[in-house]
Structure formats: structure tokens, C-alpha cells
Structure 1
Amino acid sequence: MKKRIYYFLFLLVSVLYTVQSCNYIGGAQSSEEQIPDQVSYNFDIRPILSDKCFSCHGPDANKREAGLRLDNEESAFKALKENPQAHAIVAGKPELSEVFMRISSKDTSILMPPPSSNLKLNSREIDLIEKWIRQGAKYETHWSFTRPRKSPLPKVKDPKWPRNEIDHFILSKIEQKSMIPNQEAEKEYLLKRLSLDLTGLPPGLDMMNQFLADNSPNAYEKAVDQLLKSPAYGEKMTLHWLDVARYADSHGFQDDSYRSAWPWRDWVINSFNTNLPYDKFITLQLAGDLMPNATKEQILATGFNRNHKITEEGGVVDEEYRVQYVIDRTNTFSKALIGVTMECAQCHDHKYDPFSQKEYYQLYAFFNNIKEVGLQSTVGGPETYAKNPMIEISNDEVKNILKFINKQDTNKLIVSVMADRDTLRKTYILKRGAYDAPDKEVAAGTPKSILEFDNKLPKNRLGLAKWLFDKQNPLTSRVFVNQLWQEIFGRGIVKTAGDMGMQGELPTHPELLDWLAVDFMEHGWDIKRLVKQMVSSATYRQSAVISKDKLQADPENIYLSRAPRYRIKAELVRDLILSSSGLLIKTIGGPSVKPYQPGGLWENASSGRGILRTYKQDHGSDLYRRGMYTFIKRTVPPPVMGIFDASNRDQCEVVRLKTNTPLQALIMMNDPTVIEASRVLASKLDVEPIQVQEKVIKAFRLIVCRKPSEKEVKLLSTYYNDQLIAFKKEQSRADKLLSIGEYPNPEKLNKLSVAALMQVITALYNLEETITRS
């Protein structure tokens, strides 16, 4: 009977997790969707051509068929190479346009795309192209390669709803879709959402009580300001940046030994907490070492570009790996900071975007002059914790200058950073991207389709940073604004945050993205201001309740007529458990820690060399640090984090996958940290001179962050009583449960009542609502 009950509970929790997947299922575009009155090349035609045509008729000269480019207006309008009497596109005349005749033909010998390509246009796509040609076949520069401009705020039917400029753009689109926005969320839900988004931690009871009692008009704004001032804000903001920067505590590859890069992570946390403007934040990470009279802190910031994998394996080809490091830096710059897939041009011209292979290696040249080698040393002792170029940070510097570094011991602290050679290393286009196949020499430069590099700028990383923050650069501000929107709303205005090129998804609210991008630049790249702007909007403050009509009309919630609802990040699941139980150690920064982990994982995936060949679990306070401080060994990333979709930090990642599996439910039911947190909180509540129902209410508020209903209190209290009876019959089971975790039990412990309350608290941790941002 007991086995049946446990099996049923497992299935129930698994279903609860799986049900969340409805938040992530997208709807396919119907071929019967209405054709717009005015067809746009950027938003209607280019996506079709990019998906179905550009692989053979796009920017890649090596793969181009019949000499025809459809991504280029001049080429598309000129006479065809194979038939000078015909033209691919004749403006205003689809019946004379080879493109239209081929895509609409019933003759498979001339049909385009050819049947062998397994590509096919549906009837709506064909009709769109026909109407576009009939309307003049007007080409437009790709939306993301044009400079963003502030358009006037859209007029809305309900002028009372908007709280700031964001809401005008959102409401306008909602009204166009014949929907209305949700009401504002109840205060408890709103505070939990805000606290998780700004600090990654649940609100404490004091903050909940204070917010509920504050009926002043600016109560919400006061809560926002309070959370923005919290040191935990910098930690929450840094979590995303660690994914972007591919930060880890090991070098990677097979030997995968220790790396001492955590002081750079401490610098990032401090930068967010002190609200370092975004342009300075990035410039220091790209080129802090090239600043005039560069300080130790400025040089430390460049650890960003040394976070890539580095080999320590004897027998490798030195130049092969050195080139691999430069490629990694180039690709990270492109994906993270300008949101394009430049890596596709490493071996040939980009097939979809207007980036040539030459331009790839011109960008590569900025990162090709570092004083580094492919293999500096094989796995060994402390001298291999960082690779040249590197800096050593003394205890005196930590005490007096670099105070943000949390260094507790007297060991030598070294960090890999950036430093250029005295003489310029020549850069060549690499045939097929092979390290040993140099072709033509190139000088440092940037893609002309984005913004041509100003020759007055120095051709080094500092010049590249200046190019990046040139007000004419169309991508830099858009990309960061979109990433931040993604962090707060769960999905970017451009869903493909790392690809704003031809193959990326179109922005759902292009005018809003541009307005925010320009406004961000106009206000000095102020990150905290931008965060506050987003969370202060009526859009953000909506309820997450979803009606059947809205689910059917907008299943992905791309128009934001309700607040997004999604599971919080892997690290924050841990943070919520530790914080609500009172176990969390709130120390900022310092070396990464090794909490509980199943035995044998490292040993079975290790080369058997170096200090990371075996997993040595930490003890004491190190067991209760925030998830972002969990030690990441690249070849064996933390299993609990991986099950909840954390990055393994092999490469730059600007958006995490969202999955729902029964394994996640198993973690929440069996992980030692969850059970230990339940035990500790139960022990604290058990000694309080209050009734069982009051203990249940307090646990509920700490964990779920709202007051439970009477029905919920009754159900949980009944469960407590049932468990108490069960433990009285089988006291050994209570002893076993109370022994999990290293945090000591109090000397005087009512084992049976604590074990029963533990079960209630564990059930609360397993509620889908607990780890859901809604």
C-alpha cells in the first residue's frame, strides 16, 4: 500500500512538472492567415526567402546557383545569367517574374525550390510573394542592420492603463489583436515575482508583511528601489552574464583541471551592484588592459575573454589550439554583444547574412594578437591554475584596492587576462577554417553591413569597443535590451536572442525594441534605470492568470496580455530552498564551492590527473552558498543544475533551454539539499510556541510566498497529522529522515513532530507554484 502511495505521489509531481510545458509550446503559423494590405519585405518576404531560397541564392558565393542572388536588390532585378531575356523579379509584374513563375509552377522540372531540396512554399507564402512583386517588390535593409529610432508612442484606446512608455507599445498591439490586458497581480504574487527577478531570492516574511501593510501610492516603487539596492541584485544580474561569458572553474577538454577565474566573477557582481554603465562594463571586459595607465581592476575585467576552454593535454598541436581560442573569442563577441552568427562565416561566406569569410577574419584579427600559446603547461599544480597572460593579485591589493574580491586565505591568487604582443601577429583567412591553411592576409575590421570600421580608431580591441558603442551601431543597444527583456519577461522581444540576422526570429514589438534601445543610449547606458523601467510597467505588473480565449488566441503570450509564467533558473531553485529554510549563507563572491553530489561522477569521467580527478565535497557554511557559486567542472557539470537546464559553460549561451522532465520532480523529492532544508525549517518551526496550523501557514508563506487558503491549511494540517501517526508506528523511519544533511540538529529535538512537519515542508517545495515565476 505504501509503495502505491509513493508511486502515485511520484506520478502526480511528474505530471505537475510536465504540465508546465504548455508555457513553452509555440503555435505554427497557419497558411490560411490573412495576407496584409501592404506586404513588407523585412517582415513578410525576407523570412520566406531566407528559409527557402538563400541557401542557393544568397550571400554565399561558393554555394550560389545560376549566379542569382535574391538577398540583393540589384542582382534580383537584373537579367538572368542563363537567360538574358528573363528577370528573376520584374517590379509590378509577377507574371513576368521568374521567381513567381517557378515557385508557383506545377512542373517539377522547373519548380523552385526543387523537390530534391525537401523545401516547399505553402500557398500563403506564394501569395505573399506575388502581392509583394505586384506592389513594386521594394527591398529593405534588414531591420537589425538599420539604426534604431524612437518612434512616437502609439495611440491606445485605454489611456489610463499605461504606467510608462513601454505600456503604450504593448497595449497597442494587444488592442490590435482584439484582446485586453489582465488586471494587476495581487500584491503577494507581485512581490514574489519582483524579488525573484531582481535578486533571485524569495522575499522574507518582514518584506512581505511590510509590502502588504503599505497602502501608499508608491508602495510598489519603494519595493523596487529596496530590491535594486540589495547586494543580491548584482548576483542575480551576474548569473546571466556567467552564461554569456562561458565562466567555469575548470579549463575543459579531457584533463579538465582547476582554473582560478572567480575574482573576475566577483568583479562582475560588483559592477552590477555599483551600476557601472553598460558601455564601460563591456569596454573594460574587451580592452581594459589597453586603457591608458590600466589599473589592476581594469586588467582583471578582461578575464571575460579568457573564460574559454584551454587545453592541458600533452601531444596537441600548439597552433591548432591557439587558433581555437581566438575563434572562441570572436564567436562570443558576435553572439553576446552584436547578436549575430558570425561563426557561420568561419569556413565560407555566410549563407544567409551579408557577412563574408574575409569579414569574419577581419573581426578575428582584433583577438589574434594576444600573448598566448595553444599549450602552456600540462595538468599539474598551482602554476597551472591560470594561463599567460595572467595577473597575480596580492592580499594587500585585495585589502586596499580590489575590495570586492572575497579572498579568505593567503594562497597566491592568479587570473588569466588579456594582454597584446609587442609586435602585431599577422592574420590570414583560413581556408575551410583550418588552422594550417592560411590564405590571404587581412587587417582588423568589422562587417560593412553592420557598421564599417572607422579608420581613425585604433585597430585593436579598444578601437573595437569604441566601434561597438558608436551611436551609429545598430546592434549593440538592441542586443542588450533584448537580453534584459528576456531575463525579466522570459522571452526576448526577439526570441532568438543570439541571432538577429536573416535566420533569426522577427521582433514581436519592433518599435518598442528600437524605442528602448535609443532610450538606453540616451540615458548613459544606465542598467539599473532600464531594469526599473521594465519592472515598473503595467505590462510587468499584470496577473499571470490565463483564460481559454487568451490561450487560444496567443498560446505563447508573445503579445503579453498576461504576465509570463515559467520555472525559475536552476541556480535559483537552490537559492529559494536555502533562503526559505534559513540555511542560505549570503556571503558575496569568493571561490566556488562543492555541495552534495552523487558519488563517482567525477572519477568516472576524469583522466585521472590533476586536483579535480576526484570530487571533494565541501562542509560547513560552504554547503549553503547560492547556486551561482556551485563549482562547475566543464566535463562533469553539476548534475542537479543540468537537470534544471543550467549551462555547462562550454561556450557562450545567451538563452537557456526550458525543459520539463520527471527527473526534475525526482530531484525535488530526493535531493539532500531539499530534504535537509525541510529538516532545518521544521526544527525551527517546531520549537515556536504556536499551533500546528500556524506553523503550516508560516512555512507556506516562507516557501510559496503567499498566505494559504483555508482549504490549503486544512489539507496540509491533515497531512501533518497523518504523518505524525505514521512516524509513531515506525520511529526508525523518522530517525533516518532526520539524519540527512550535515547541518546539526538541535540538542532537544522532538523527532516525531519534526519529521511530520518535514514531510509537509517537502511537499511545499514540490509544489509547481513554489519554483514558478508567475
Structure 2
Amino acid sequence: MRNSKTQFIAYQGFSPLYCGMIIAFLLFTSGEIALGADDSAEVKLPEKILFNKHIRPIFTSHCTACHGGVKQAGEVSFVYRDSVLPPDGWVIEPGDPESSSLIGRINSDDPDEVMPPPEHGESLSALDIAILTEWVRQGAKWEDHWAFTRPEKQALPIVDEADWCRQGLDYYVRSRLEKEGIQPSPETAPERWLRRVSLDLIGLPPSLEERQSFLNKLKANNESAYTQVVDRLLNSPHFGERWASVWLDQVRYADSKGLGLDGRRNIWKYRDWVISAINSDLPYDEFTKKQIAGDLLPEPTIEDYIATAVHRLTQSNEEGGTDDEEFRIAAVLDRVSTTWQTWQGMTFGCVQCHSHPYEPFQHDEFYRFAAFFNNTSDTDLNEEWPVLQIPLDPNNYEDAGRLDKHISDLRTEIWREEFHLLNDSQAWSPLTNLSAYTNNATKVEVERNGNHDEFHTVGTISRNSDITLEAPLPESLSQLTAIRLTALPLDPQSAVPDSEWGFVMSHISAELLIPGIEEPQALNFERLIIDEPGPFYDPQESLNAKSNRGFSAYSRIHHPRQAALILKEPVLVPDGAQLRVTLKHRVYLLASFALITKRGHLAVSNDQRFLDLNSNQEFIAKRNQLKELQQQRKVLKSTAVPVLRERPEHLGRPMHVFIRGLFLTKGDEVTPGTPASLPPLPDGISHDRLALANWLVSPENPLTARVAVNRVWARLFGTGIVATEEDFGSSGEAPSHPELLDYLAWRFQHELDWSTKKLLKELVLSSTYRQSGKVRPELLERDSENRLLARGPRYRLSAETVRDQALAVSGLLNHNMFGPPVHPPIPDGVWQPFQSSDKWNTPEEGEADRYRRSIYTYVKRSIPYPMFASFDAPSREFCTPRRLRSNTPLQALMTLNDATFAECASALAGRMQEAAATPREQIQHGFLLVTCREPRDEELNQLESLFESTTSDQPTAKLTIVASVLLNLDEFLMK
């Protein structure tokens, strides 16, 4: 045995003869081993032991709890090859089980030596030991986890019944069924397929007219009729509404901010963007890039900025006294976890605190990935800055984008002409002998710093503080043309990495104190020049006494800020005159943090160039043009939407590893990067969010396409090819059809050009999808969960589809699209928001917004809509890759008693009554509306009997009872 290393003590009591007997037994029993007395069957050992298929599951189930990514007892980890195999590892000798410490320990009779130890759970089975031993004998070939290997193009498998296969995917399904000796189910009835595909593609049932049209076309051309239905549904505007709901689960979309107060968030424009993007079949790679880094694209459009709101859906804390930086960091870390689960199908959040217990992801790699998101401008504030004014009417997006760009370019051009004067040291004379005082308890002190005096606050800052500064003007100053104010961080050394609260100068006023004259001389300003273009607040507002906004460093101050107040005309300065400047501050955050100028100094100028700009006709024309453009932009009614914006490079935040996930305990500094177990970022490019987005959808990334097609598959068939949609790692389930998954992933990326609509068309037109969903007795025994796909999908509909379908068949559904969230009926007593003025205003019965599609329902994280929660919809606090379906009495209580379903039953009864003369015909019509098929005689007889047995004398009331039963049929609630 090589290098026993006392940390993993060499086994005692292990007999080499025993190991040899095991190997001989395996070799001379033609691959069959008899299990223990508790096992009744003999299992054939695979001829070739594969690491991913046979070995990794054993390590994950029995070993990695102690020898994994988190805990590495004895410095051994079965997550990393180098830890167990030569030249660095020592517990396995490839080709030599007798010399392998691993094999000895799992066979030991000594309770102090055997692995896993008796107190750590169930010991390895005889089959597990045999497989591990044979694997070592065969050379202990290690493999990367299947999900970390790139899908490759492959030939379709050969099957006996090729005529059954309509699409390439069918060959993989049929091949597996033939190997299992199972026949596929017969094709489902056309009208059942029609209802199934309608609910899957647009989330709504087919109308009676659509049903009849399909059946008529079937008589002429069978396959063409199916194709025409699919094309119609894919082109329906309701397609985007149905599939957007799937995406919004992934990205934790909500109309509220979460956590304690859970106030409203105005972000519905993102939801509408997703619907539109899906309807337009925006390729998935572009869909990804726009959301991860839309603001970094060349010449980004308004839609590109809206797309970045995906990562403004993080929860934020509006409570007073919270640490803004703590919750900003929490948002960054949430973006990391959400990105990984949404695009990579991997659990990455646990790497925040330690290396991954099962996957080859190191602790520091989490923070390298977090560095991609650490340099955005957002903070944990009520205002949710940065926001973008998005026109309410999407038809105005192009005009708004054009105006925004023109305004930005012109503002920058004007600013450049002004900035060189602001920054010209020769133009300014710093003030000394400064005195400072306030209007309240805020304390201000003055100290000399080089050639000027600086004021700074001391101790507690009071709200609504006015800081007044007085200083004698230089004797050399004969006239005054401009005043410059410089605002500084209290602690310049920590201003970038650990910035302090900034300031907002709500109003700036100035006056001259002239000896011998009692009344101060007020100074009138033409405008205010600042040190950067495109500020958060319009700095000119500081000259408006009625405004609370103006020149600011919002919400943090990272470096010195400057503003120059330009007088309308020069003011003569008498001997002994003093300048008085008053800075008013009226903005505060979270009820306690006053945004006040905490440190600064003054300078004055008599430079005529400032006034020359006032009379420069070309410059005046530009300013007037800017005002005109800004006015044109205001005409386009807009709503403020939180978006992502990158901070300037000079304000880049450093990213550190957080020891044990604690943001206050910082370790080594790291740069943006991806895990070493996956393909690296290209060299020679900026490692920003755009590089990350390109990496996610690059041909080298093995996960993105697989995760995307698996998600689509799961929505159609009820379970993904990888059942654990949220976990493609070694602790998740292996794919039921790995070759099929890789075929679809490669085709989606390389042949379908990332088109989700093209992918869906192939899936729903396949023979696999068109099978009957009826469960055959032999399938119930062999494959109760339909993992072999020997029958069509049959499972309960999603919460949104259950509600939308009821509204549709009753004739109540309002098909209007887009817009702010709506408030359908909610049970009394449910809406009790904590310390919030948030209101749930339900439209009156009969008003259109009462019956909008479910995707437009207001999503409040702390108070989920009860009907949705009962049917397993998530609260959207976190990324939810997969909804777990339940079956509880609450669901039946909801569909029987909820106000929406009661209205639907009444409206459906009205439709039934209008459609036919006799109760039997009316019931027949209602059944057809609800199930998309004609009722059988026994079904019709039962419903007619229910109608007759109802005690009410009113036919409408009797039909309402029947309609309620129809809306509660399993066939209605399932597909």
C-alpha cells in the first residue's frame, strides 16, 4: 500500500485472500452476485463499471457526508479526483483492489475501521462493495459528472418499429421501450390531444369552434390538421402568457419587495417584457443576454434595460435601522443562487458558506461568481434607484429610447463645456476663516486643510438640518461670478469599498454680508454646474426653494463631489464683505438616515467665462433644445421601473470571500470568474456581466441548453427527463433518457437556433406526446411515474391554468393583455399586510379587471393569493425551478366555494341555458365546453339525475349546481 497517511488509518483485519475471493467470485459467476438473505433476487453485475452511473451514486449516498466538499475527514474527499487517485490521492490503487485502502476499509470487520462507520448509517450492501471492487480492478477510471460534459451530436438509435416515430425524439423513447419490452400506449383521441396541447401551449382550453374546425380538417388531412393547430397556438398572444408564468417562477417575480414590510414594487413592465419576448420567440441565448447584461449591450434599447429588472426582483428591507450594505450584499448573493438554479440547474447557494458537499465547487468560486454582480448601482433603498422611466404604451418605446439618447448626448455635450471651468483650479479662490453653524442639534466643526478651511459634522445628525457657512471674501476679489461647493466623504479612505450615506442639497441659497448694511444682499443664480452628467436628481432643483431634491450624491458618497453656482450677472464685492451660504437638507432614508453634507469646503471666482456662457447664443440654444427634448419626454406617460446599471470602473467594489458566509468576516479578495470544473471565460475580454451572459450560452457550457429543454419537457410531460429540475448535480436524479436529453439540448442550441417555439412544436407533434394518458395495469406496476414514457402525460393542472380555464369555459375571461397587476376576489380576513398601506382593491362583480388572466394577479410575497397557494404556486420569495404537486381537500374546497369559481359556475350555467332548450341538451353542452368531448350516456344520465334531484325550483339554480360539479371533475382539473 502506498503512503497510508495516518489521517486515513490503514485498515486492520482486512484479508487479501478475502478480497481475492470476491474478485474471483465476480469473474467466475458470469457477472451475477447473490445478494444477502434479505434480498430475494440475483443481480447481474455490469460488464463495464462506469463511474457516473455506478460509482458516484455510492460515494454520494454513503461517503461524501464525511469525505466531501464541506467535511474532508482525513483530508480525503470523494468529490475530487485528485484527493483519492494517484498521483496526489492515495486511498485507491487503480487495478489493484488488494492494495487499495478504500476496498479494505469497506470490507473490514473491525467497527473502528469499517467504512462507513456503523454510527454513520447503513453499511454498504454486498452489491455496492462488489461494484466498487470491480471498478478498482478495472482501473478506477474517474469521469466528470455527466452534466459537466458537453452534449454532442449523435445518430438516432435504430428501432424495430420506426414507423411509430414522427420526430427524432421518438426514436430514443421507442428504443428504451423496446429494451424494456414495453409497448407504447395507443394514440389518444383527437379531441383529447387538442385539449391537452391547448392547455400546454396557451394555458386555455379550445373553444367549441376550434374543436369543430380541427375535427373537420382531420377528415381531409390527418397530420396537416395537427400541425395547423400547433402553429395557431404558437402564434397566439396567449402563448406568452402561459409560458411566462413558468419563467416567473424561476426568477422569483413578485409585485412586492418581500421581507418585513413587503411594500409594493413597480416592476410589472418586466413581466410584460417576458410575455412579449416569449411571444416573439426571442432566441433563448438572446433572452439570456438581455436579462443578465442588457445594460451592457452595444446601444441598449429600453427593452434591454427592462430585461435587466430580472435581478431587481430580489427582496429588500424597508425597515428603519437596517444595514443597507448587509441587504445589498444579500441581494447580490441571491442573484448568484438564482442565476445558477435558473440557467445552470445547480444548487450553488450552499457554496456561500463552504465548498459544495457533493459537487466540485469551491467556497471561493461562489464569491468569484458573485463579483459579476457586485458592481451594480442598486442599493437597499425605498426608491429602488436606479430606475428608468418606461412609457406605459410599448408603442412609445422607440420614441422614448430615441429621446433618452438625444437627451443624454446633449446633456453630456453641455456638461463638457461647463466642466472644464468647474475643474480649472486657476479660476477659483478657496475660502478660509470659515465659520459654520446649523439650525438644530446637528453639530458642525471647522478645521484647516491646506489652502482652505473645511467644515464637517460631528456626532448624531438630526433630520431637516440647514448648514450655514460664512467666510470673508478675498481682498483680491473685486466681483463675484460663481461659487463652488465641494462635498467630501467623512472618511475618504473607506469611501469606495465601504461608502457612507450621501447627501441631497434640497436648496442652496447665498447672500453677501456687507459692512454697514443691515440687510444681506441675496445672490441670484442662473444655473448650477456639477461634476458629472446624468445625475440621480436634477441639480437645478437646488435653486428652487420649493423643491426637496437637487444636487446630490445619492445614496452613497464615494469620492469628492463639486457644484458651481453661476450668478445671473456679476456682483461687485465691497471691502470687508462676507459670503453666507446655506445648505438645506430635507431628504432622509428609512425614517432615520438624513442625507446631509457631512464634510466640505467653499471657493469663489470672478472668472468672466462663467458669465460668457450665459450669453453664448450657441450654448443657450443647446440648453433650450435640452429643455424642449425633456418636455417631449415628459409627454410620454411613463412608469419608473428598477433596472440594473453598472457602476463606473473607478467606483468598482472589491469582492472578498466571506468566511462561513458572513459578510462582515472578509477573507481574500477575488476577481470575477467561473468554477474550475466548468469551461473558463475567454481570455482577453472584460470579465463583466456581459462576459458572463455569453459564457452561459456558449457552445462550451454543458448545462444551459440541457436545463432549458428539460424545463420545457417537464411542463409538457409532468416530470423532466431529469426529475430534479433544480439539481443537475450528483445529488440530483440521473436523467431517465440521457441520450434523449443530449439530443434535444444539442439540437436546441445548434439546429433550432435556441428557438423555444420550434422545440415545442417538435415535442407536441411527437408520437410520444400523442399517446393516450390512460394508465394500463402493467404500466402501473412497472412504471407508475411514467419515467419510461409508455403513455401520454396526465397530471393536475397548475394553479393559474385551473383558474384561467374556469374563467374561459364560463365565458368570463377578460383577454386583455399587459398592464399593472390586478386584484381578483380574495377571502375576507386574508389581506392583512403588516405595517403597510398596501391595498387590495377588488373590482366589482362584472367589471373586466375582475376576470383577467392569473398571470396579472398581484403577487405579494407575504400574502400569497389563497387559491394559488392551495394549488402549489410558490410565494416567489426565492427561485422555484419546480413546483411540487400536492393533492389536498383544500383544493376541492377552493374550487367548490371560492368566489371566482362560484361566479364561474353561475356564468357557465348561463351559457348552458342559452345554448339549448332542454336540461339534457344544456348539460350536454356544458360537458362539451368543460371537457372538449361529448359525454357518454352514463355520464349524461348521472348529471341529469343530479339536475332533477336539486331542490331548487329555478332552472338556472339547478344548472349552476351541475356547472359547479363540471368545474370540479378530475377530467377538468387534469389534462
Which bin holds the TM-score, normalised by the shorter protein?
0.7 to 0.9
In structure 2, what is the equivalent of residue 24 of structure 1? none
My pick for the range that moved more, 302-311 or 47-56, is 47-56
Pick one of 696, 703, 710 that aligns with 1:482. 710
Q: Deviations over 1:457-476 (max 9, x none)?
A: 32111111111121111111
Q: 1:395 to 1:79 in 2, by over 3 A?
A: closer
1:714 aligns with 2:941: yes
- Which deviates more, 87-96 or 553-562? 87-96
The one-character-per-residue Cα deviations of 1:361-398 (angstroms, maximum 9, x if unpaired) are 01000000111223x23xxxxxx4xx111111235765
Q: 1:677 to 1:287 in 2, by over 3 A?
A: same
- 2:792 counterpart residue number: 563
State the match for 1:190 in structure 2. 193
Preserved contact between residue 68 and residue 80 of structure 1 (Cα < 8 Å) = no
2:919 is aligned with 1:685: no
Task: Sort the Cα spacing of 1:402 and 1:771 in 2 relative to 1 into closer, same or farther, 3 A.
Answer: farther
Q: How far, CA to CA, are the matches of 1:259 and 1:399 in structure 2?
A: 23
Indicate if the aligned counterparts of 1:31 and 1:124 stay in contact, CA closer than 8 A. Answer: no
What's the counterpart of residue 534 of structure 1? 763
* 1:759 equivalenced with 2:765 (yes/no): no
Instruction: Show the counterpart of 2:732.
Output: 504
Find the counterpart in structure 1 of residue 183 from structure 2: 180
> Which residue of the partner structure matches residue 54 of structure 1?
64
Compared CA separation, residues 178 and 123, structure 1 to 2 (3 A): same
Report 1:297-316 matches (<5 A).
297-316=303-322
Matched position secondary structure for 1:566: coil
User: Matches of 1:237 and 1:270 in 2, distance apart?
Assistant: 11
Pick from 832, 837, 842: which aligns with 1:617?
A: 842
1:161-310 equivalent positions in 2, closer than 5 A: 161-215=164-218, 216-217=221-222, 218-310=224-316
Name the CA distance, whole Å, in 2 between partners of 1:663 and 1:527: 35
Matched letter for residue 122 of structure 1: S
- Give the aligned partner of residue 429 of structure 1: 657
Match of 1:415, SS?
strand
* 2:316 partner letter: I
CA contact (8 A) 1:570 1:644 kept: yes
State the shift of 1:153 in Å. Answer: 0.8
Contact persistence 2:152–2:743 (CA under 8 A)? yes
For 2:399 and 2:133, locate their aligned partners in 1 and report how far apart those are by CA, in whole Å.
63
Match of 1:393 in 2: 390
Q: 2:645 aligns with which of 412, 419, 443?
A: 419
Q: Which has the higher contact order (CA 8 A, sep 6+)?
A: 1
Deviations 1:683-724 (A, max 9, x none): 23223443222111110111122111011111111211111x
Q: 1:246, 1:651 within 8 Å by CA — same for their partners in 2?
A: yes
**What residue identity is the alignment partner of 1:699?**
G
For 1:436 and 1:391, how far apart are their aligned partners in 2? 32
Counterpart of 1:36 in structure 2 is 46
Q: Give the CA deviation at 1:412.
A: 4.8
Cα distance, 1:278 vs structure 2: 0.5
- 2:433 alignment partner in structure 1: none
Task: Kindly state the Cα deviation for residue 59 of structure 1 after the two structures are TM-superposed.
Answer: 3.3
Residue in 2 that maps onto 1:670? 897
Match for residue 525 of structure 1?
754
- Among 646, 649, 657, the alignment partner of 2:876 is 649
Give the number of the structure whose residues are more often strand, by fraction: 2
2:396 touches 2:636 (CA, 8 Å); kept in 1?
A: no
- Structure having the higher helix fraction is 1
| C-alpha contact 2:82 2:88 (8 A) present in aligned 1 | no
Q: Deviations over 1:51-83 (max 9, x none)?
A: 2112222334xx2111223233343234899xx
Matched to 1:418, the amino acid is L
Note the residue ranges of structure 1 that are not aligned, 5 or more in a row: 1-28, 82-86, 378-383, 729-751
1:175–1:54 CA distance, 2 compared to 1 (3 A): same
Distance 1:770 1:155 in 2: 39
Aligned residue for 1:401, secondary structure, equals helix
1:704 aligns with 2:931: yes
SS at match of 1:392: strand
1:551 aligns with 2:780: yes
Q: Which whole-Å CA distance do the structure 2 matches of 1:716 and 1:689 have between them?
A: 16
2:80 — aligned with what? 72
Distance 1:397 1:159, change over 3 A: closer
The SS at the match of 2:667 is: strand
* Amino-acid identity (%): 39
- The alignment of Structure 1 onto Structure 2 pairs a total of residues equal to 696
Q: Residue 506 of structure 1 aligns to which amino acid in structure 2?
A: A
Shift of 1:400: 5.5
Preserved contact between residue 68 and residue 358 of structure 2 (Cα < 8 Å): yes
State the secondary structure of the residue aligned to 1:495: coil
Cα distance change of structure 1 residues 326 and 537 upon mapping to structure 2, 3 Å threshold: same
Instruction: Output the aligned Cα RMSD.
Output: 2.0
Question: SS of the counterpart of 2:164?
Answer: coil
**CA pair 167-688 structure 1, distance change in 2 beyond 3 A:** closer
Q: Secondary structure at the match of 1:413?
A: strand
Deviations 1:118-177 (A, max 9, x none): 243233322222222232221111111111112211111111111111001111111111
TM-score (norm 1): 0.87
C-alpha separation in 2, matches of 1:30 and 1:670: 51
**Alignment match, 2:921:** 694
CA contact (8 A) 1:330 1:363 kept: yes
More deviation, 516-525/318-327? 516-525
- Unaligned residue ranges in structure 2 (runs of 5+): 1-38, 402-634
Give the C-alpha shift of residue 96 in structure 1.
Answer: 3.1
- Assess, with a 3 A threshold, how the Cα gap between structure 1 residues 688 and 71 changes in structure 2: closer, same or farther: closer
Distance in 2 (CA, whole Å) between partners of 1:537 and 1:34 is 35
Q: TM-score, normalised by structure 2?
A: 0.69
Q: Secondary structure at the match of 2:972?
A: coil
CA distance in 1 between partners of 2:965 and 2:72 (Å):
60
Task: Work out whether 1:153 is the aligned partner of 2:159.
Answer: no
- C-alpha contact 2:67 2:76 (8 A) present in aligned 1: yes
Q: Distance in 2 between matches of 1:598 and 1:251?
A: 23
Q: Compute the displacement of 1:318 (Å).
A: 1.3
**Aligned to 2:861, what secondary structure does the other structure show?**
coil
What SS is found at the alignment partner of 1:241? Answer: helix
Matched residue, 2:810: 581
